Structure 1
């Protein structure tokens, strides 16, 4: 009996030891108490977090002789992260402010995080207004002039991921700071020794880096579809443009993500609206040269939104506004065809790959990864993805240093690592190849220009001296980065982003799509199905809300500032539901239009 018990104990010990015996050798297994720790908040996928945690720790081990434990904080999408950081900073600064015996106003959090406050413009009013402004200025500046973890901190070092819009908002709220002096960046990191920009500041109107946040990889937005499901539905031509998804043939077949949960998908919806603005301006007879000239003149004039300087024809702005409305209506029809709206953007390509949805709106790398998975062992490609030509800009996923970072020096090293050739190799090199990830093919597009081939338009030359030429790296990448359908520098030339057209509507669009397509989704689908071929019901379905005031290109810029968000959602949803019910009733009571 004793011998038997001994064997049981030995077997139990072996079972308990197996995870440690077979654990992949790497930096995390080498880390010991007392070694450096870095805290990063990120909406990135688990595979990205794993590979960059391992990659940075290995680099730090080789460079400094000690591994690093990356403590990832994954609380959801970019929207949730922004809310969390704002709350943490407001609470931390409030505690520090009150500990100094200072009075904290009831709206203190709103004051310190105000993105639009101008400390150089006192109000022209009575003494009470000036006193209130002076109090706001002191609080607002005190928050932004402090970058010391002993004063206050979120206890997080880096914000890794999210789009340029949210990263810009984080900076405007005072949450992020520059990792190094703007005029003294690390050598050969952003600009090569020969002056070539390795990471451009702006490309085709999109911001890829500033002095505070830095793009690490690139994304486009597009359409994924399942070839087998298209055959089942009798759809002969795969979708090529956003407008194709508005065809009633897709009714109940599209996978779509919730833009209020995913900043990336919200950006995709903005791309749809922006494309329609460009189409309307082009249809009105304006050339690209005229558009560039008009936008420069409008910016220089500095007039209120929608007002044009004398040298810009009013018909130009009218075309922009009509295109904006066309974009909303296109999204409405795509929403009417939706099978569902999901909280997780990555669910859409998974469902398309498995055939649970016929097509969907997706981020490029999600679809490429799923396409690879879906064809494994079959020898055929059931799922495909494309970025509509002229239908998507190329957006960066940035990284930024958070204010009051407790491990600032280590955090700056992580930023440098992600932008270096070694960090950039992780994005698209195959697992196990030189410089590649350990376990996962990330299928992301590196941002550095020297990962792409030379061409006549200013992309880097593989012949130029540099840390990593395209020809030296191409044998190891999962995707053919020289393919014009994949190369983000090529795709960016097909779509010029004009921020004035749609950037100011980004948050509006998130909530508006929710009210128009999600909270009133049942009524929308019923009306859309019933209204086909009937002109009057379709016109009723397309009516925009008029409460609390009519929704237009101009009014949408101010609605979020003038009204409570939840009240807006309520008003819009009630009005959309009423419109959709009326459209369905009209369809039942009338013949074809």
Structure 2
């Protein structure tokens, strides 16, 4: 009987065995089978970067540990969306753990406000309950099922670190040689490239510039391409720019912070420069043809002719320009240029999140991404030794020692070194750094929510002959909710605290938006009257 059963089952057993018998040696394990180690990364990086990261890290990991690994990428949106997602998840998870222990007492609004608030650490007036919630969180291994956050800028990662969402990745202990100033300086151009406590590490450098479509610019009448930030606010660019929402894209918010910093430096007066920078920002958004939710979409809009120009991160700009050259037989219509007057350098970092479920794998990725192999992946041509497989990432390495002549032949941009090109612009953190979140909210209130009224006012001013012909209208257009002299108070008003609820913050933002809308309606009326 047993023999008959075996004979009957033999064809089925052979069919089940075929996939394993035919599987080539060295084939990566199926992640779903449980054979591969796993890494969970949340990021706004595009598909090209994600693909090359996974392929290169698999090779690195297999070589060092003899095991396969897969990366589970999570991409809920732009940097701002990711930051909100992380904060929401940590609150939910810590609350679940907090309430699971009856000794902790009741979860209150004060607990929710305090556990991730770094101000509680140094506030002598903070209540014992607030201090206890904060202490419990910082001692906990609360996690959100994600190992690493990659990309998005040092501001948001420094904020994650201060709130307790990120922890020391241990790189300085494992690889102190990486942090020699000749390899990775701690700061450059006024911006920190890594956290001294190891809670984030710069991976590549980013600069910001202008991209334009030469055909579309020529159609505007004046064929001169935009070279300075101020050019994007000129009347000729009305209804032709592609921009991204700074409240959703940390990269774009950083770009406008740099623009405002340059205006402050040019004016040699932070108060006047702040006003000039914000009003230039308003004119740029008044010239917008479309708004996206991510910085990476802008170059594509410009390259395809849907927009004449826009702001761009260097890596996206250079990549689109290379692709455009291939499309048009070496005669591109799309160009990326660093703005005259300089642009700031900032690091695009990575950080280990608290309670990482795959910490050892995450630490291996941190080691990889700052190793020679991981760094050169960003800057070399596809197919070069240590280069990417398919996509030229065109991302300048954070490591200064990898700009030498020995790498020049294989670099995608051999003449581009941000450590040199950005040296003429000094980022002054004290001017705008503490107000980075405020800037994001302010631009939304004065340029995005009332954008219809903003554009109508700007159109009416242009139809009347331009700003010089209607000074009263332009004065109304240029009104701001507050002066730079009052920025600390404005910053307080948009922060929740013991004396400020979410309702209070929303009321402040609504007042700024309604005030801006009223100003634009007045500017439109005055312009139509020739005033």
TM-score scaled by length of structure 2: 0.88
Q: Among 111, 114, 135, which residue is 1:141 paired with? A: 135
1:47-126 alignment runs, 5 A limit: 47-101=48-102, 102-107=104-109, 108-119=111-122, 121-123=123-125
Deviations 1:488-510, CA, capped at 9 Å, x for gaps: 10123111111110112211111
Deviation at 1:450, TM superposition (A): 1.1
Within the alignment, does 1:406 sit opposite 2:340 as a pair?
Answer: no
Q: 1:26 to 1:202 in 2, by over 3 A?
A: farther
Residue 225 of structure 1, CA deviation: 0.5
Matches of 1:153 and 1:104, distance apart in 2: 21
- Identify if the C-alpha distance between structure 1 residues 577 and 62 changes in structure 2 by more than 3 Å, giving closer, same or farther: same
Match of 1:294 in 2: none
Deviation at 1:189, TM superposition (A): 2.6
2:473 matched residue in structure 1: 537
Q: Is the 8 A contact 1:43 1:77 kept in 2?
A: yes
Question: What displacement does 1:187 show?
Answer: 4.0
1:168 has 2:158 as partner? yes
Alignment equivalent of 2:317, drawn from 367, 375, 378: 367
2:211 is matched with which residue: 217, 220, 224?
224
> 2:169 maps to which residue?
179
| Cα distance in structure 2, aligned partners of 1:516 and 1:382 | 33
Moved more, 564-573 or 252-261: 564-573
SS state at 2:282 partner: helix
- Mapped partners of 1:496, 1:429: distance in 2: 28
Alignment partner of 1:553: what SS? helix
Aligned to 1:474: 408
Q: Does 1:266 align with 2:253?
A: yes
Query: Do 2:189 and 2:422's aligned partners in 1 also have CA atoms closer than 8 Å?
Result: yes
Q: Which deviates further from its counterpart, 408-417 or 338-347? A: 338-347
Give the Cα–Cα distance (whole angstroms) in 1 for the partners of residues 529 and 170 of structure 2.
67
Post-superposition offset of 1:185: 4.2
Contact 2:298 2:311 in 1 (8 A): yes
Aligned to 1:555: 489
1:208 matched to 2:138: no
Instruction: Say which of 415, 425, 429 aligns to 2:380.
Output: 429
CA deviation after TM superposition for structure 1 residue 53, in Å:
1.2
Q: Deviations over 1:132-188 (max 9, x none)?
A: 611111110111122x3xxx3111111111100000000011001112285x34143
CA pair 26-590 structure 1, distance change in 2 beyond 3 A:
farther
1:448 aligns with 2:448: no
Task: Check the 8 A contact 1:41/1:81 in 2, yes or no.
Answer: yes
- The yes-or-no answer on 1:348 pairing with 2:342 is no
Matched, 1:383 2:334: yes
The 3 A distance-change label for structure 1 pair 497 and 185 is farther
Distance 2:216 2:349 in 1: 36
Is residue 2:526 matched to residue 1:586?
A: yes
CA distance in 2, matches of 1:246, 1:365: 24
Residue 568 of structure 1 deviates from its aligned partner by 2.7
Output the CA distance in 2 between the equivalents of 1:550 and 1:567: 21
The answer for unaligned runs of 5 or more in structure 1 is 1-12, 124-131, 282-318, 453-469
> In structure 2, the residue corresponding to 1:234 is in which secondary structure?
coil
Cα RMSD, aligned residues only: 2.3
1:66 Cα deviation after fit: 0.9
Match of 1:311 in 2: none
| Per-residue deviation, 1:32 | 5.2
Judging changes above 3 Å, is the alpha-carbon distance between structure 1 residues 550 and 34 closer, same or farther for their aligned structure 2 residues? same
Structure 2 distance, partners of 1:365, 1:181, is 26
- Report if aligned partners of 1:26, 1:58 keep a CA contact under 8 Å in 2: no
Paired with 1:43 and 1:347, the residues of 2 have a C-alpha distance of: 12
Conserved? CA contact 2:35–2:68, under 8 Å = no
Aligned 8 A contact 1:222 1:392 in 2: yes
Counterpart secondary structure, 2:494: helix
Gap runs ≥5 in structure 2: 1-14
Q: Deviations over 1:184-223 (max 9, x none)?
A: 34143323xxxx5311110010111012210001111110
Once the two structures are superposed, what CA deviation does each residue of 1:7-47 show, in whole Å capped at 9, x if it has no partner? xxxxxx9xxx9xx99x9x97576995232111111111111
> For residues 27 and 551 of structure 1, do their structure 2 counterparts lie closer, same or farther at Cα, with a shift above 3 Å needed?
farther
**What SS does the corresponding residue of 2:332 show, helix, strand or coil?**
coil
Equivalences for 1:481-500 in 2 at 5 Å? 483=415, 486-500=416-430
User: Which residue in 1 is equivalent to 2:178?
Assistant: 189
Partner Cα separation in structure 2 for residue 278 and residue 39 of structure 1:
42
Asked if the contact 1:43–1:160 (Cα under 8 Å) also holds between the matched residues in 2, the reply is yes
Find the aligned partners of 1:41 and 1:167 in 2 and give their Cα distance: 13
Report the CA distance between 1:324 and its aligned residue. 1.0
Q: Distance in 1 between matches of 2:418 and 2:77?
A: 27
Q: Which residue of 2 aligns with 1:299?
A: none
Q: Please give the residue correspondences for 1:325-336 in structure 2 after superposition, counting only pairs within 5 Å.
A: 325-336=275-286
CA gap of 1:577–1:550, structure 2 versus 1, over 3 A, is: farther
In 1: Cα distance, 2:505 partner to 2:456 partner: 27
Deviation at 1:588, TM superposition (A): 1.4
Q: Which residue of 1 aligns with 2:433?
A: 503
Compared with structure 1, are the counterparts of its residues 179 and 434 closer, same or farther at alpha carbon in structure 2 (3 Å cutoff)?
same
Kindly tell me: are residues 550 and 368 of structure 1, through their superposed partners in 2, closer, same or farther at Cα, counting changes over 3 Å? closer
| Cα distance in structure 1, aligned partners of 2:29 and 2:408 | 29
Pick from 137, 146, 149: which aligns with 1:159? 149
Summarize deviations over 1:49-96 as a string: whole Å, max 9, x none. Answer: 111111111111111111101111111111111111112112212222
Q: Is the 8 A contact 1:505 1:556 kept in 2?
A: no
Once residues 92 and 83 of structure 1 are traced to their aligned partners in structure 2, the CA distance between those partners, rounded to angstroms, is 14
**How far 1:116 sits from its partner (Å)?**
2.1
SS of residue in 2 equivalent to 1:583: helix
Is 1:248 the counterpart of 2:199? The answer is no
Is the contact between residue 204 and residue 398 of structure 2 (CA under 8 Å) also seen in structure 1? yes
